[in-house]
Amino acid sequence: MRLRVLVYNVWGFRLGVRTVAAAVAEHRPDLVMVQECGSRRRLRGFAGALEMQAVSTRLFPVVRQVRNAILTRPPWRVVSYRLHRSDRSQRFYPRGALIAVVGRAGYRMSALCVHLGLAPGERIHHARELADLALAMPEPVLIGGDVNEDPHGKAASWLADRFWDAWAKGGQGSGQTFPSSDPTVRIDYLFVTERIRVEGAWVLDTPETRAASDHFPLLVELAMD
């Protein structure tokens, strides 16, 4: 069984929901892990344009927060989902992981959609939290999101020491995802557990993705027995 996963920080759809959707629609991902998904209205518009179903949840009733979403394309569906609230987050920018069990007939996996913070100490603490959560899950696990540091950073290294970094396993090209105007660093990742094979990984650097967000999307082909 094959699974196509897209990891994408959409920058709150500041450049337009239709612009972002048009930039990735042709790839028809089965699962999309979105960071900075903005309002429910914008997320619904994005999901509808991709003919997918979306789940998300707010961290706290505050004005500024980092909100994630997970989208699935039938026959894949979200079986259940919950929010893990991280401690040691900056007061006005709370962080957390959106955790969903996704499945289709005969298959189940857990998807953790994340967006780590700007402070190095905060990032490594949350990376350790994520690893503990993922290693305790019975299903195969995907961890996708904006880690806000390059592969040599402590948080990215912590995760790469415990899970397969999809780009390191099957990436083609430079792998740089940020900023889309002049990409110089890889900060967007998909990590997978042993029971998932990486068949290929690509950063979608096109005129359309350069006009859609300040990040490039990461597209990964996976396989499961």
Evaluate whether 71 touches 104 at the Cβ level (below 8 Å): no
- Considering the entire predicted model, what is its pTM? 0.94
Q: Check whether 123 has a pLDDT greater than 70.
A: yes
Indicate the Cα dihedral angle 183, 184, 186, 187, nearest 10°: -80
Q: Which residues pair with 35 in a beta bridge?
A: 9, 68
Cβ proximity of 193 and 134 under 8 Å: yes
Strand partners, 34: 8, 69
Percent of the chain residues topping a pLDDT of 70? 92
Which tens digit of pLDDT belongs to each residue from 196-217? Answer: 999 999 999 999 999 999 999 9
What is the average pLDDT across 4-11? 97
Can you give the pLDDT at residue 67?
84
What is the C-alpha separation between 81 and 215, in angstroms, rounded? Answer: 26
Superfamily of domain 2-223: Endonuclease/exonuclease/phosphatase (3.60.10.10)
Task: Read off the pLDDT of residues 28-40 as tens digits, 9 standing for 90 and up.
Answer: 999 999 999 988 8
- Asked if residue 92 has pLDDT above 70, the reply is no
- The whole-angstrom separation of Cα 210 and Cα 183 is 10
Residue 124: CB atoms within 10 Å: 18
The residues spanned by each domain of the chain are 2-223
Cα–Cα separations (whole angstroms), residue 115 to 65, 68, 107, 200: 11, 8, 26, 23
